[in-house]
Each structure stands twice: as structure tokens, then as C-alpha cells.
Structure 1
């Protein structure tokens, strides 16, 4: 198998080119409100099958109120596992509905409880309100594990894009504070460092080779950051800058080839592996950031590989061969 960092990952592939004219969402243009309207689902969510779904208000940051959506499988959760999930959207757009279908798939595919945490959005609610809302939700999950059907030693956490950013930062906080025990984490196309403080000597060439990418061009990254207004070197924004990666839980990372944030993911993987943290990686050549939100064959493959990785993270397949979804996994290519 070739390295998952092989050249040409950033060249749009035929699967995307076939539907490109219909995929018009771009964070490179439009106001936050216009973008929010574009990502709204154009249909009502179907009734749940094989699971129950409950929306619940929970405490947010600084006295605010937040929402979580709880997905419970029929029957007990495998190994008492709970996945805390954080949706993406550049800290600006997205709701609990945005990745509802994905959360259902993981719940039924793994027979585990999933808790999707919403958060207040920028620019109305700038940094650090969003990430602190999520942390308040994480603490709520920790304090309500018994009613959720979970066990304190089998919590995993994951998110897409901005959700991946918050996941990486809060998994570090959980380790440092000891308030929550996170067994594993899932990063799907995360941003892990503010462009203004990217470490010297680290390759961030994806900001150049994918500057005109669909969905999230490089200017789109900067627009989202302008709305979010984070402190660049705050570890809640830039977890890549943490001095100590030891003791972090195993990670599964998904990377899109045509994505300015591709280099972020590679840099974070390097830091995890250097600290001895087990990591599995899936790379999707020729596809843009958040391609999973578009009905593609590769989107289905991405979900299935994530389901497989969850089994590894929660301990139900931790000892099996890692060739499927494991390190150096170049999705869509034969070994």
C-alpha cells in the first residue's frame, strides 16, 4: 500500500466532479445567515428505526442553556459505550439536525449510545462560548451516565471540522483535569491550529494547494475564524500547540484530500504518534472538506470505516488486525 500522504491527494477526483455543479455550498462566500439557510435540511427527518431519539435541554456555559440529542439503540449499549459527538460548521452554522443521519448510523451500526451536543454559534456568540458550551455538555454526560446507560470507562468523543477542533481541545482538557475519562477520540477533517500561529518547520501546504477547494476554500477558513474571533494561541483554538500529548486516548482521524485543513490533520497525527498514542487514519483522495455531508459512495464508505474504528475505540475489536481503517489507510485504494 502507498503512503496515505502520497502526492496528488488534492486533485479533485471523478466522484466529486460528477456532482460538482450541484454542490454549491461554499464557506468562501455568503453571510453566516445565508450559509445557515443553505445547510438546513430540505426535508423532515424520518422517524427513528432501531433506536430512540430524545432532545433535551442541558446547562450551557456561563449560565446559558444548551441542547443535546440522545440516540439510544434497542437493547443495552455495547460495553456501556457512549459517543459524545460535536457537529461541524465553522463554529458558525449547523444544528443537531445537520449530522443527525450520521449519529443514527453510528448508534445502530455500533449499538451504542450517542449524545450529540449543540453549541451557540459565532458571530453572535464568539470564542470561547461555543467550546465552553460543549464542555458543559461533556460534563452533563459524565454526570448522567447511569440514566444514559453508559459506563464511566467507555466514553469516546468525536466531531467533524469545527467539531473536530473542539474534540481535540476538550480531550486534552479532560486528560489534564481528570474530570472526565475519555477512552478514544475521532477527528474528522479537524482544524487544530490557528493559521496565525502555525509552528515553523511543519508542512501546511494544503492551505495553498487546496486554496480553491469546494465547500471550504482557504478564504473560507479565514472567514470562519473572523466570525469566531478566537485567541490564536489559546489551546482551545490550537490544541496542536500543546506541549504534552502523552496519555491522550487512541485516535481515529479522517482526512479529505482536497481540503486546506489536510495538513492540520497530518500535523496532529505526527504529534500523537510521537507521544506513543495509537492512531488509525483514513484518507479520501480527490474529495473536499466535509464531503460526508453529500450523498456519495465515499460518504457511505467513510461512515462504515468510522463504525469499524468505533469498535476498536470502545474495546470490542481492539486486538484485531488494523489493515481495515488502520494506520496508513488510503481509502478507496486497494492495498
Structure 2
């Protein structure tokens, strides 16, 4: 959800504080937070929303890895239920055909349902395509405040159906389609996994990178990590103020699959999940809780807990060497789901 345009000084970890990790912050992450704090740029949540969108787009490539070359990158449109053309970007690491189709990852970018785009997540999608040897379809779902809940979820569902219908034409294997996303995009991927189950579709994996899953942001990690680690409590509420159409929508499972309405989404029969969480992320506990919820429902889950990391760390590989291992872990999960593990 976060942008690299805001931060405050990090506070030391303490095992005695509920919600704080027991291990120290990664030293490169700590140095990065200090650099951002000393830059004294205005926090994203005090900006005009249009300025915030621009700031996020400009800042996104600064910390990310260099974009990898692709065999083909195509910008397409998917017709939404209301006639809107949803922009999507299709990455192919090599040529695919009906005789040799590639697996596909349908990816939803983060940004608190308010900022972010296929451009802000271009390097991450290229990395996944290149290293997992799969097509990646990155989705430019509609954002708040112009488009409020449930438009983003509806766009995600519409793209989901389109992908399964058009996979063969695109050179993708409809039997090897995964769903993925980071932060708010992770929320959309969780919702798509539930919707796919209800629609008789069978994705092979939900790749959830620090997903938002809870209705009220009241977990111990939200309390302990409300300030100082890039994504702040004020920022989270700013995002949701631009996304939610009304306060009661917090209890809709498409927004809060963990506990919306008390019980959240019924996740029985959903596809397997690989969930990454960061120790110094306010969203840490809800990611862990969602993994527990899936397991309790009989869903196969791998939980990867990167204890020294912060929110949005998947897009900091240029400055934080440890991010490479998280990328490799996500790629390995995709390859295992696709049946192409090396």
C-alpha cells in the first residue's frame, strides 16, 4: 500500500511490545528508512490525491530492481461489466503457442486501491515472468476516489473470467493460471480465489504478498507499527477513505476476507496459497491470520515470514539485497504450482 515518499524515524524492536518482531530490522532497510526520513518529503496521506498518485509513480522505480527484458510486452484492454476498458499488460518471457502454452500469473498491483499502476509494478512483473518462465498479466483496475468499492473487486473478477476464457488464444495454459498481488492487490487476489471457486474456475495458486485482509486494522502489529516503518496508520486510513464507498463496506468479504462481517469469506475449497508477510509491517498479523484461516479450512498454505522487512519490500531490491531471496521464494512457489520446479 505504501509509497517511498514518506517515513518517520524507526523505533527499536522490543519483544516486550505486542506486535513487534523479536528480530532487528534488516540493516539495509533501517538505512533506507533513515535516508527517506532525512529527505523530509511530505507523507503521501497529506498530499492531494492526484499529487499522491503522481508521486507514487515517480518514486516506484527508484528502489526497485532494473526491469528485465521480455520477449513481448503487450498493452491490452478487457471489457468490464459496465463497458469500461480495463487496461492490462501482458508479459511473455518467450514465444508461446497452442502447442507449447505458458503458465500465467494474473497480477494485481498494490497501492491502497488509490495509487499504483501497471507501470509502478513493471519491474516486479518482469522479474516474475522471467524467473518463473510464465506469462504475467498485470491488471490496471480502477482506483479511488473516482472509482470506489466494489469497482476494483468487480474489475478483478471480470479480468479473472476473461483470462480463463482467452488463455488459449493468448498462448497461456488455462490449467496453469495463478493469481497474485501485493498489499491491496493481495486483497484482490484473495477475493479472486474465492470468486474462482464459486465460479467453477480452478487457479493453481494464490500468491499473496503482504495482503490486506482485515476489516478494522486492529491487530497487535497495526498498533505496534503504526508509525516509523513507511506504511503508517494514518496512511492506511487515508487510502481507505478514498476507496470505501461507505463504512459498512469494511464488513464485505471482498474488502476483508479474513473477518469482514465477523466470519469473513468462506475459503473452503480455494486454491493453495503462498503468503509473504514482513515483520515490521502493520499488515503482518492479518497475513498470518489469513494463512491460519485458510489452513483451518483445509487449504494448503505456505507462510513466508520475512521478519526484518517492512511493507512494500518486494519493490526495494535495488537497495536491499535480502529482497532477492524473497523474490526467489515467490518464483519457486509459482514454479511448483505450475509444475516447472527446477
Determine the structure 1 residue equivalent to 2:110: 88
The superposition leaves residues 35-91 of structure 1 with CA deviations (integer Å, 9 ceiling, x where unpaired) of 212222467998862421010122124221110000112144887311000000000
Deviates more, 1:218-227 or 1:6-15: 6-15
Aligned counterpart for 1:65 among listed residues 85, 89, 99: 85
Change (3 A) 1:51 1:22: farther
1:288 equivalenced with 2:331 (yes/no): no
Q: Quote the offset at 1:285 in angstroms.
A: 1.8
CA distance, structure 2, for counterparts of residue 292 and residue 309 of structure 1: 15
Q: How does 1:24-63 map to 2 (within 5 A)?
A: 26-41=43-58, 49-63=69-83
Q: How does 1:152-163 map to 2 (within 5 A)?
A: 152-163=174-185
> Is contact 2:206–2:272 with CA below 8 Å preserved after alignment?
yes
The superposition leaves residues 122-163 of structure 1 with CA deviations (integer Å, 9 ceiling, x where unpaired) of 011111111211221122211211122122221100000000
> Is contact 2:33–2:230 with CA below 8 Å preserved after alignment?
no
Aligned counterpart for 2:202 among listed residues 181, 185, 199: 181
Q: What runs of 5+ residues in structure 1 fail to find an aligned partner?
A: 199-203, 321-335
Change (3 A) 1:243 1:165: closer
Determine the structure 2 residue equivalent to 1:137: 159
Determine the structure 2 residue equivalent to 1:310: 334
Determine the structure 2 residue equivalent to 1:214: 229
Instruction: State the TM-score, normalized to the length of structure 2.
Output: 0.82
Change (3 A) 1:227 1:56: same
> Secondary structure at 2:106's aligned position in 1?
strand
Moved over 4 A (4+): 24-28, 42-48
Q: What runs of 5+ residues in structure 2 fail to find an aligned partner?
A: 1-17
Change (3 A) 1:28 1:155: same
Instruction: State the TM-score, normalized to the length of structure 1.
Output: 0.84
CA root-mean-square deviation: 2.6
CA distance, structure 1, for counterparts of residue 275 and residue 336 of structure 2: 13
